[in-house]
């Protein structure tokens, strides 16, 4: 799996003036009136909210990296735009200003990121189930338009998928060594990773993936908690669909997501085996990064290990 490398770390990263933002936006939305907010929480991109319905997203030059691309996000959003049951921003325009500004002008997703919303219990389960249904519809799209764009990294065969997961397991185990959380399983984290990778079946199923459809990119209604849509496709790539289903650290959330993913159509046994490997990865990552989720993540790992032993 390619490592993240910032291609021009010393490049200047100026914040655009309101006038400059409005000049770009008015190329595609002539009646835009004012900049209302600026958000840099995306890391690789900066977004400018314009009026109440428009976002101007710019690539931060010093955070440019091979796997993140505004052009790639535009391809994704345009492919998803006419698909029923998929709620994503709509592209109004894409372009460049001079040699340093790359931008996308798009509609603003209503609601707030789930990471900033208090959504619990039944409402949370329903929102995650709707996210699962959305991901299933995205994964059902034909791969050809994504592949022919030349913008998407792809795990072509079982060996490449295995290598990607091995790298991710290595990262999670290394982080556990650093954080030294309470560990109650008889197998070491390294041995758990080995057991998980040994259980990974050879599969050629591939789809265009969001990459991180987690709390920062899943939007909900702040009052009801209802799922509103999914944003930020700049890290999209092509691989096994199960790799879009592991980025929620809480096992309860992941199972609600999977329930929605399979409610309209079940998955086969090979998919299920691959998903279980991804869940083991998610559990190791949660143990390393989120102490409060350590006990349920360990319990989830224990269930996975028992299933592999029984199989």
Q: Is the pLDDT of residue 311 over 90?
A: no
Same domain, 141 and 29: no
Same domain, 178 and 47: no
Does 268 fall in a domain? yes
Does 145 fall in a domain? yes
**pLDDT averaged over the chain?**
93
pLDDT classification of 15: cutoffs 50, 70, 90: very high
Kindly give the pairing relationship between strand 54-59 and strand 101-107: antiparallel
Same domain, 141 and 181: yes
Please choose, from the candidates 132, 206, 122, 128, the residue with its C-alpha nearest in 3D space to the C-alpha of residue 164: 206
Rg (CA), the chain: 20
pLDDT of res. 309: 83
Q: How far is CA 91 from CA 27, 88, 128, 235, 242, in A?
A: 13, 9, 25, 17, 27
Does 289 fall in a domain? yes
- Average pLDDT on 8-34 reads 93
Same domain, 97 and 122: no
**Phi, psi angles (nearest 5°) of residue 282:** -60, -40
Same domain, 53 and 176: no
**Domain CATH for 74:** 3.30.200.20
Q: Is the pLDDT of residue 117 over 60?
A: yes
Q: Is the pLDDT of residue 6 over 80?
A: no
Does 6 fall in a domain? no
Same domain, 71 and 42: yes
Please choose, from the candidates 22, 64, 29, the residue with its C-alpha nearest in 3D space to the C-alpha of residue 43: 64
Gap between the Cα atoms of 307 and 302, Å rounded:
9
**Domain CATH for 302:** 3.90.1200
How many domains does the chain divide into?
A: 2
Same domain, 208 and 259: yes
Same domain, 151 and 262: yes
Same domain, 274 and 144: yes
Same domain, 59 and 34: yes
Does 87 fall in a domain? yes
pLDDT in tens, 195-254: 999 999 999 999 999 999 999 999 999 999 999 999 999 999 999 999 999 999 999 999
pLDDT of res. 208: 97
pLDDT classification of 2: cutoffs 50, 70, 90: low
In the listed set 77, 107, 137, which residue is the last one of a domain according to the structure?
107
Does 13 fall in a domain? no
In the listed set 84, 107, 130, which residue is the last one of a domain according to the structure?
107
pLDDT of res. 82: 86
pLDDT in tens, 46-92: 999 999 999 999 998 877 787 889 999 999 999 999 898 999 999 99
What residues make up the domain containing 42?
Answer: 18-107
pLDDT in tens, 168-179: 999 999 999 999
Same domain, 47 and 144: no
- How many residues does this entry show for the chain? 311
Six-digit token pair at 70? 């505004």
Does 10 fall in a domain? no
Does 9 fall in a domain? no
Same domain, 276 and 138: yes
Q: Which residues contact 112 (CB under 8 A, 6 or more apart)?
A: 219, 220, 222
Percent of the chain at pLDDT exceeding 90: 83
pLDDT classification of 1: cutoffs 50, 70, 90: low
Instruction: Walk across the sheet containing 112-113 and list its strands.
Output: 112-113, 218-220, 227-230
pLDDT of res. 40: 80
In the listed set 107, 129, 145, which residue is the last one of a domain according to the structure?
107
């Amino acid at each position: 799996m390619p490592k993240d490398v910032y291609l021009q770390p010393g490049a200047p990263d100026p914040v655009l003036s309101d006038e400059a933002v409005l000049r770009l936006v008015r190329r595609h939305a002539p009646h835009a009136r004012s900049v209302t907010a600026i958000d840099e929480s995306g890391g690789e991109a900066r977004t400018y909210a314009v009026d109440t319905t428009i976002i101007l997203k710019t690539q931060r030059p010093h955070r440019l990296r091979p796997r993140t691309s505004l052009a790639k996000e535009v391809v994704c959003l345009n492919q998803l735009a006419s698909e029923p049951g998929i709620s994503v921003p709509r592209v109004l325009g894409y372009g460049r200003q001079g040699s340093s500004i790359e931008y996308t002008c798009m509609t603003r997703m209503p609601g707030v990121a789930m990471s900033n919303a208090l959504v619990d219990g039944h409402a949370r389960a329903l929102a995650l189930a709707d996210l699962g249904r959305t991901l299933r519809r995205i994964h059902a799209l034909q791969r050809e338009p994504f592949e022919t764009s030349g913008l998407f990294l792809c795990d072509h065969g079982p060996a490449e998928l295995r290598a990607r997961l091995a790298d991710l397991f290595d990262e999670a185990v290394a982080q556990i060594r650093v954080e030294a959380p309470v560990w109650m399983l008889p197998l070491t984290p390294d041995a758990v990773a080995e057991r998980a990778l040994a259980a990974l079946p050879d599969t050629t199923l591939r789809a265009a993936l969001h990459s991180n459809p987690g709390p920062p990119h899943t939007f909900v209604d702040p009052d009801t908690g209802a799922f509103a849509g999914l944003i930020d496709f700049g890290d999209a790539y092509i691989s096994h669909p199960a790799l879009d289903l592991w980025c929620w650290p809480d096992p309860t959330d992941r199972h609600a997501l999977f329930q929605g993913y399979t409610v309209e159509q079940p998955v086969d046994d090979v998919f299920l085996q691959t998903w279980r490997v991804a869940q083991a990865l998610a559990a190791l990552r949660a143990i390393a990064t989120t102490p409060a989720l350590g006990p349920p993540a360990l319990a989830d790992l224990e269930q996975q290990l028992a299933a592999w032993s029984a199989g």
